Amino acid sequence: MKIYKKGDSQSYTLGVFPTIESLENKPNYVKRIVVHSSIEKNRGYPKIQQLCKIHHIPIDIHDKTIDKLSPKNNCFAIGVFDTYESSLNEGNHVVLVNPMDMGNMGTIMRTMLGFDYVNLAIIRPAVDIYDPKVIRASMGALFHLNVQYFDNFESYYQLYKHHEIYPLMLKGATNIHHVQTENIHTLIFGNESSGLDDSYLNYGKSVFIPHSEQIDSLNLSMALGLTLFHFSKQEFKERKVLRGNV
């Protein structure tokens, strides 16, 4: 096993939780599991064993591999999987233009899953979603999502111009609190530091998130979270209880 490099055809999950997520959601791509000899105490291990048995995936105990790939020593399991391409489906989409931060990308994936957005288009150049840091930050949410890369926004747009398109921009024309839709839509977000350039004012209905003048802007994952929360309001409004019996 070698440390992942951008574009490698195999990557790996670091940690019990994302490894279980990979086994539950993309078992066909998981080639083997490597565990640390001290994993026996971990309460997620029986689940890993059960899933590996069902899907005929080998488990190796190999402390050195763990120590090499996860130098911080708080990792008990690694799931080695073949990277794969997925395609967007006809639900709502999120488009990220040139996202560069791995931690942000993980948080974004997790937040998308939290609001039932499962389609993510990424416009290159961009961070590699299969970097183990992204997978870890996503806590395995990656394995629930359809993620498709595009070389430029126009190639995405040609395929999905029948969606309602909402670019999120500091210069957006409409206050988000005045936007609501029940139709299939695409929410577009720019790069962490530069946002979307003015050309995006020409697509669909540009939207801004109002905030005080005391800050320059909200950070990307926060802006995205607020936007998904807002756009999915109708879907979540009638839930009476989240976790009453925990």
Q: Which stretch binds a copy of itself (CB under 8 A): 2-10, 91-99, 113-121, 158-166?
A: 113-121
Q: Binding marks (x or -) toward a copy of itself, 131..170, rule CB under 8 A?
A: --------x-x--x-------------------------x
Q: Which stretch binds a copy of itself (CB under 8 A): 54-62, 80-88, 185-193, 206-214?
A: 206-214
Nearer to a copy of itself, 63 or 235 (CB): 235
Nearer to a copy of itself, 1 or 179 (CB): 179
User: By CB under 8 A, is residue 113 in contact with a copy of itself?
Assistant: yes
Nearer to a copy of itself, 69 or 113 (CB): 113
Instruction: State both tokens at 92.
Output: 């709502």
- Going through 52-184 in order, the beta strands assigned E by DSSP cover 59-61, 77-82, 93-97, 119-123, 146-150, 164-167, 174-175
Separation CA 234–CA 241 (nearest Å): 15
Separation CA 52–CA 180 (nearest Å): 44
Q: Which stretch binds a copy of itself (CB under 8 A): 7-15, 36-44, 183-191, 212-220?
A: 212-220
Q: Which stretch binds a copy of itself (CB under 8 A): 37-45, 77-85, 154-162, 211-219?
A: 211-219
- DSSP track, 31-75: EEEEE-GGGGG-TTHHHHHHHHHHHT--EEE-HHHHHHH-TTS--
Nearer to a copy of itself, 37 or 175 (CB): 175
Separation CA 22–CA 237 (nearest Å): 30
The DSSP symbol for 242 reads: S
